[in-house]
Structure 1
Amino acid sequence: MTSLPLEARDWLAGPGLTGLWAAVRKRLEGNGLQATGALRLSSLTHQEREALSLLLGRTLTGTAVTVRLDQLDARLRTSSARCGLVEVLNALGPPLVDRRAARTQAQARRDQVWSSFASALGSSPLTSVEWSRPWFEALRRAGIPKGVEPEIAVRTLHQAVHILTLLFSPDGSSRTRGRGELAAETTGTAHGLDDGAWLTRLVLRGIALAHGTELPEDAAGRRALWRLAAVTPDEVSSTVLSYGLRPEGSSWREQALRERSAHGAETHLTLRDLCHTTLSIPPDTLVRICENPRVVEAAADAGCTKPVVCTSGNASTAVLTLLDTLATAGCAFAYHGDFDWPGITLANRIFGRYAALPWRMSADDYERLVAHTNAQGIPQLSLAGLPVAADWDPNLAHAMTALNVALHEEVTLDVLVKDLA
C-alpha cells in the first residue's frame, strides 16, 4: 500500500481542498474507484481558488473550475504525494467504498437467497399446490426486510416452506396444533411464530393464498387465518376486564356472567371465552368504557349495576373483540379515560371505532375537575408531550393546554361510580 508523505498529507488535508475531496470521493465511490470523468466546482472562495491553483498547476481567476479526474490523478502521481487519486483519498480517510461493487455483491447474495428458496420450494410437496408459485413471487416482490442477513433469510424462508408443508401436507397427515407448539417444532422456540416476526408474515401470506383470502392487517384477522390452517393461537393469556354484563342465553358461560354480575363481581374474559360465548345483550344497552382497572374495582366495591368494560390502557385484541361483539349486538358506548395527551390519543381510537359518546370527557368536565382537585389540595401534575386534539370536543385540547394539568381517572372515581350505580 502506497504511503502518503506526511508533509504532502498535511497540505492536501487543508481547508481549501475540502470541497474538492468531498466531490471526488462521491464520484469515485459511484464509478468503481476509477479516476475518470470530470467535476464542475462552483462558488469557489478565495482560499479554495488559491489551493486549487497550486494543486492543478494553473492559475484560476474565476469562481468555477472543471477538474478532470485523470489529469488530477496524473498530477498527484508526479507531485510530492507520489501516489494516485484513490490512494490520496484513502490516506485522507475514511477509506473509499466501491459502492458499485458493493451493490453487485449485494444483488448476488440476494439472488442466492431466492435461488435457494426456489430450490427448497421445488423439492417440497408444496410444489404441487397451485398457490405455491404465486406465494414465491409475492415474497420475492416484497423482498428481504432491511437488516436481515442472507444466511438468516435463507434459514427463515426454508422454515416457512417446512411449516406450510406441515400445514398443507397432501397426504392428509396435517393435524390441529397450537401456534407455540408449531413454532417450537419448526424453529426451536415457542416464540418463533409470534406476531410481527418475518417468518410469521411469510407463513400467513401462504395460508391466505391457500384459502383465497387477503392477508389481514389486524390481530383478530390474523388469529382467524391461523385457525383456517388448523393452528390455534393463544386464546387464554390475553384478557379483558368487564363488570355487570348480563347476556341472555342458557349456556353455562352466559349464566356464569349473570351470576357474577348479580354478586357484584368483576370478570376477566379470555379470547377463548369470547369465541364460545354468545353475548346476547339487549339492543341499545349503554356500556361504559374506562381506561383504568381501578374504575371497575370501585364500581364492584360500591355494588354498581351498570355494565362497564376496561381497556387497561391501549385496547388489546381481547378488549376489541369484546367491544366488537357488543357493538354487533346493538350496544351503545360511552367512554372515559385519562386527561393527558396519551389518554386523549387512546380515547380517539375508541371514539373513532365505536362512535362512542363522551363520558364526562368534555372541556367543561376537565375544567371542573381541575378546580375540584386544586380546592382539595391534590398535587397537580403537568402535562407531558405534544398536545392532541380530542375528536369529540374541539375545546378540550385548548383547555388542557391552558391549564396544563394532567388528571387520571383515579381522581374522579366518586363521580364515575355514581354514574354506574
Structure 2
Amino acid sequence: MINYIREQLQEFAKLQGDKPAINLVIPLQSFNLLSFLKGQTAAPCPIYPAIYWQDKKQQQTIVCLGQIESHHNIPSPTQQASYFGGLAFQQHGQQWDDFPAIKFIRPALEFILENQTMTLTCHFNGKHQIDKTLLYVEQLQHVSELSKIKSKIMTRTDSPTKKQWAELVELAIEYKALIPKVVLSRQTELDCTHKINHIDLLNLWQKANPSSFHFSFQFSEKHAFVGCSPERLFQREKQQLTTEALAGTISRGRNEREDHLLLQSLLTDKKIDRENYLVQEFIISNLKQLKAQVTHKEPYVMQLQHVQHLCVPINAIVKENTTDSQLLYRLHPTPAVGGSPKQPALQFINDNEPYRRGWYAGTVGYLRKNKSDFTVAIRSALISENKIKLFAGAGIVTGSIASQEWQELDNKIETILEVINHG
C-alpha cells in the first residue's frame, strides 16, 4: 500500500508541482481502520495528530493522520477542505493539556470508509509540500490486531465525592428559581496496573454500544480523548440540519418486563419530561433565531447497554448563509449538558464543580463545505499511560434526589468499567 500511495503522490507532483492547491484522492482496498490506527499509535515514531471518527449509523469511518493546518478558532471550509476537532465545554479558563478551548486541524492524510468504499485523501492547500506528505506516508505502519485490555483497576477516586455530590445537588435545588435545570457532573479517576491502549478500549466500547458516535482525538503522546457518545449536537448536509434533544435517563431492566416498564416510565415521568422540554426549547429557539425552519418528531426511547434516554429528533432547514460557527456557538453547550438558562447554569458549574471538564461535555466532529457532523462529547474518557479519567453528568431539577442521581452517574460509566475489568 505504501509503495502505491508513494507512486500516486509522485505522479501528482509532476502534474501539480511541489505545493498543490487541490487534494489528491486515492482509491484503496478496504481494511479495518481501527486496527490500522492501532498500528500507527504503536509505531516507534507515531504520527500526530491521530484522529478516529465514526458516525452513529456507522455510515462513515475516518482516520486522520498528521496535519497541514492547525486552528484555534472555528475555520470556514472552502472547496475540498476538511477540518477535525472540537470545542471545550466552556471556552474560558484553564483547559486540559493538548485540548485548548477550540482546536481544529486539517489532516495531511484522511482515510475514509464510506458505503464500503475506502479512499485516502491527501490534503493540500497551496502551501503544504508534497515531500512532507511523503514523509508521513513513509512512517505508515501495518494494521495491528485489536486485543483485550491487559490492565486492571487498582484505585478509584471520585470528584466530587458522594458527600460533596449530595451538597452540590442540594445547592443546585436551592437555586431552582434562577436555574430550573443545571447538569452536574463527576470525574472518576482510575489508576490501573498497566498502560491502557486507548484503541483497544475504544474497540471494546464500540462493540458494547454500536449505535453511538465513536471517536478518538490524540494530538501528542501525552493524552488521548476517546468516547462512545449517543448524543448528536448536529449534522448539516448543505441546508438540511438534524439534531436532537437527548435528556432524561433511566437504567435498563433486569428482564424484558422490567425493561419495558422502565421505558414506559421515561415516556410518562413529569420530571423527565420537564428536563427534556428545556433542551428542546433551547435548541428550537436558537435555530429560529438563525431564521431556520424547524420541526420536531415524537419522543422515543434510545436504549443503550446500561441506560436508556428520552430523545426528541429535531429537523431544520437553515438559511444558505448560516455558518457552522454560528450553529456551534448557538447550540453548544445545550441544556442537556449545561443547564437552563444557559449562562447562569454555566456559571454555577464553573463556581461549584471541583474539577475542569475540558473537552468532556464539549463537542467534537468535523467541518466540510457541504457537510458537518458533531457529537456531544459525553460517555468519554481522557487516557494517559495507566490513568483513565471517566466522566458522567446528571440533570438536576426540582424533585431530583442526590442518591438517585449518583446512581445514574454510576450507570453511565458502567459499560466502560466492564470493558476495563473484563475486556
Tell me the TM-score normalized by structure 1. 0.18
* Structure with the larger helix share: 1
Q: Whose Rg is larger?
A: 1
TM-score, normalised with respect to structure 2 = 0.18
Which structure carries more relative contact order (alpha carbon 8 Å, separation 6+)? 2
